[in-house]
Amino acid sequence: MLPTLTVTTMMTTMTMTTLFPLLLSGLLTFHPGHSTRVELQVNAEQRTLELAMRIDHSDLESALRKRFGIPLITEKMQDDEAQERIGTYLRESLRLDNASLRPTQFRWVGWERRRLSSWIYAEIVLAGADEPLPETFTLEIKTLLEVEPELNHVVAIRQGEQTRSVVLDRTQPRVRIPTSLLTKPVTATEPID
C-alpha cells in the first residue's frame, strides 16, 4: 500500500525539489570577492619593511601562469622554486616610491603553505646602512591585479603597539607609510598615470 500524500506533504516535497537545486546552484556560483591580507611593519633597526601576504592558491597560480607561461601548482612547489617563482613575481608586483624594486631591495624570508592559501614573508630594504631612513615612503601593491582586477588588498600596518588599516585596489594601489611611530594617519594614495 502506498502512503497517502497530503497537500501539505506534496507542497513541501515540490518546494524542496524545486528550491534545493536553486539554492545549491546559488551557493556554487556565489563568490564573495577576491582579497589578500597584507601585514606590514617597519623595522627601523634593520632599515627594512617586513611584509607578510596571504594569497589564495588559485589566484597565485593564475598570476604565476601568466607571468611564467607555464602552469605551476603551489602544493607541488619546493621551497627553492617558491623563492625563485613567487619571490620574483612578488618583487615585480611591488613598487617603492614609484620605482620598481631592485633584486637587492627584496629579501625572500619564506612561505607557509596552507590548504587553500599561503603566507609569503619578505623584507623590503628601505635604506642602506649609510643612508638615513626616510620619514615616509609609498608602497604600491599590484600583486594579482593582472588576473583579478577587482581584487582588494586589506593592509594592516603595525608599528609598536599601534595598527592602522587601509584597503587598496586597482584604482588606489598605493599607501603612504611613516617610518616613525604611526602618529600620522596612513592613507591610500591615488594612482599616478
- Per-residue pLDDT of 2-41, as tens digits, reads 444 444 443 444 444 444 444 444 433 334 457 999 999 9
Sheet with 106-113: list strands edge to edge: 106-113, 117-125, 48-56, 35-43, 152-159, 162-168
Whether residue 176 is contained in a domain is answered as: yes
Range in 92-96, 107-111, 179-183 the model is least confident about: 179-183
Whether residue 9 is contained in a domain is answered as: no
Q: Would you state the pLDDT for residue 161?
A: 84
Whether residue 143 is contained in a domain is answered as: yes
CA distance 97 to 95: 6
Q: What is the dihedral of CA 47, 117, 189, 131, to 10 degrees?
A: 10
Q: Would you state the pLDDT for residue 34?
A: 79
Whether residue 80 is contained in a domain is answered as: yes
140: number of Cβ within 10 Å:
20
List, in order, residues 6 or more apart from 75 with CB less than 8 Å away: 57, 113
Residue located via cell numbers 556554487: 28
Q: Would you state the pLDDT for residue 186?
A: 58
CA distance 73 to 180: 40
Whether residue 124 is contained in a domain is answered as: yes
Span 116-137, mean pLDDT? 93
Whether residue 54 is contained in a domain is answered as: yes
DSSP bridge partners of 1: none
Q: Would you state the pLDDT for residue 189?
A: 61
Whether residue 40 is contained in a domain is answered as: yes
pLDDT exceeds 70 at position 171: yes
- Domain range for 72: 34-189
DSSP bridge partners of 174: 140, 189
Q: Would you state the pLDDT for residue 82?
A: 95
List, in order, residues 6 or more apart from 111 with CB less than 8 Å away: 79, 82, 86, 118, 119, 120, 121
User: Which pLDDT tens digit goes with each residue over 55-93?
Assistant: 999 999 999 999 999 999 999 999 999 999 999 999 999
Cell of 180: 616613525
Domain count within the chain: 1
% of the chain surpassing 70 pLDDT = 76
Strand extents, DSSP E, the chain: 35-43, 48-56, 94-96, 99-100, 106-113, 117-125, 136-141, 152-159, 162-168, 174-178, 187-189
Whether residue 18 is contained in a domain is answered as: no
DSSP 33: -
pLDDT exceeds 80 at position 112: yes
pTM higher than 0.85, yes or no? no
